[in-house]
Amino acid sequence: MKPIRKAVFPVAGMGTRFLPATKVMPKELFPVVDRPLLQYAVDEALEAGIEQMIFVTGRGKGMIEDHFDMAYELEHTMAERSKDRSVLEGTRLRPGDCVFVRQQEPLGLGHAIWCARDIIGDEPFAIFLPDEFMVGSPSCMTQMVKAYEKLGGNIVCALEIPMEATPSYGVIDPGYRDGPITEVKGLVEKPPAGTAPSNLILPGRYILQPEVMRILETQATGAGGEIQLTDAMAQMIGKQPFHGMTFDGKRYDCGSKAGFVEANLALALAHPEIGAAMRATAEKLLAE
Ligand code: G1P
């Protein structure tokens, strides 16, 4: 079984839900307390043993390249002043382990992933949707890699949500269940209200076999007129093992304003430096 060495991060989206904050600033670099959202996803990948990060970017996303580069002046000045540079850990990846490709047109998540096909080559790979923020120990992807080592094939993260929210997500048609593992019998992207096969959705973490790239090559448009990753994955079911894994941890949907603010609140309250003060502030605000 080939190990998971590469990960794709689709980061080309315009982030219109967060305008005007996203007019210049990529939403993937919004901080949750003091780390950019995308940094948490890269940290998660590194913890899972993934070596090469492939960012599918677009125009106006140059700041992401700078974030993962060496900031020479900053590091030099910090070293001169004997400041602790460990806060920059994980931001400067090994030369060659950080790859950028551009998705020229917003044709959908499936198309964004397909843009990385030549870099993925013939290896299984991971996908992280960085606005889905996963907090867990071990991390979500570490748990998924463990499941992959047992089951092989394709593993998607699976999450139970209220049935009425399913039209916003990719949804699993479940087969047998064995602890956190669910057999995936089918997948449907953004089912109309009342038609979802379950309330088990895809919250943005995937381990896929490279054959999905061949399927995406000719994939017709699906929900919302976009080339959907979910539709391509659905075509692999029956041909390769396909399982969902319920993750032991907490998920924040940072693609929504409420989820993003909740993540900031939760991490601030748990923060070793500011947690206690934040709790006092929150109690004061609630009492007002
Ligand atoms: C995408 C995927 C969907 C998944 C969701 C998770 O949808 O297409 O299957 O459930 O991310 O956030 P989007 O949020 O880009 O519409």
209 and 285 housed in the same domain = no
214 and 233 housed in the same domain = yes
203 lines ligand 1 (CB under 6 A): yes
The protein residue with its alpha carbon nearest to ligand 1, atom 7, reads 169
> What is residue 1's predicted lDDT score, i.e. its pLDDT?
86
> What is residue 123's predicted lDDT score, i.e. its pLDDT?
97
Write the pLDDT tens digit of every residue in 242-288: 999 999 999 999 999 999 999 999 999 999 999 999 999 999 999 99
Mean pLDDT of each 10-residue bin along the chain, 288 residues long: 96 94 96 97 97 96 94 93 91 92 95 98 97 97 98 97 97 97 98 97 98 94 93 97 97 96 97 96 95
Q: Which of 111, 169, 247 should be mutated for ligand 1, with most atoms under 8 A from CB? A: 169
**Residue 1 located in a structural domain:** no
pTM, to two decimals: 0.96
Parallel, antiparallel, or unpaired: how do β-strands 200-201 and 132-135 relate?
unpaired
136 and 200 housed in the same domain = yes
Residue 101 carries which side chain, given as an amino acid letter?
V
Q: How far apart are CA 274 and CA 63, in angstroms?
A: 28
Going from the Cα of 76 to the center of ligand 1, the distance in angstroms, rounded, reads 41
198 lines ligand 1 (CB under 6 A): no
Among 155, 111, 136, CA closest to 4: 155
254 lines ligand 1 (CB under 6 A): no
The protein residue with its alpha carbon nearest to ligand 1, atom 5, reads 169
CB neighbour class for 63 (10 Å; exposed up to 12, middle 13-18, buried from 19): middle
Range of the domain at 19: 6-255
281 and 221 housed in the same domain = no
Structural domains counted in the chain: 2
268 and 154 housed in the same domain = no
Q: How far apart are CA 149 and CA 147, in angstroms?
A: 5
CB neighbour class for 246 (10 Å; exposed up to 12, middle 13-18, buried from 19): middle
141 and 279 housed in the same domain = no
Specify whether the CB–CB gap between 43 and 92 falls below 8 A.
no
226 and 268 housed in the same domain = no
> What is residue 114's predicted lDDT score, i.e. its pLDDT?
98
> The domain spanning residue 137 has which CATH number?
3.90.550.10
Going from the Cα of 63 to the center of ligand 1, the distance in angstroms, rounded, reads 24
Alpha helix stretches (DSSP H) within the chain: 37-47, 62-67, 72-80, 109-114, 117-120, 140-151, 211-217, 229-234, 257-269, 275-287
> What is residue 262's predicted lDDT score, i.e. its pLDDT?
98
Going from the Cα of 46 to the center of ligand 1, the distance in angstroms, rounded, reads 23
> What is residue 220's predicted lDDT score, i.e. its pLDDT?
87
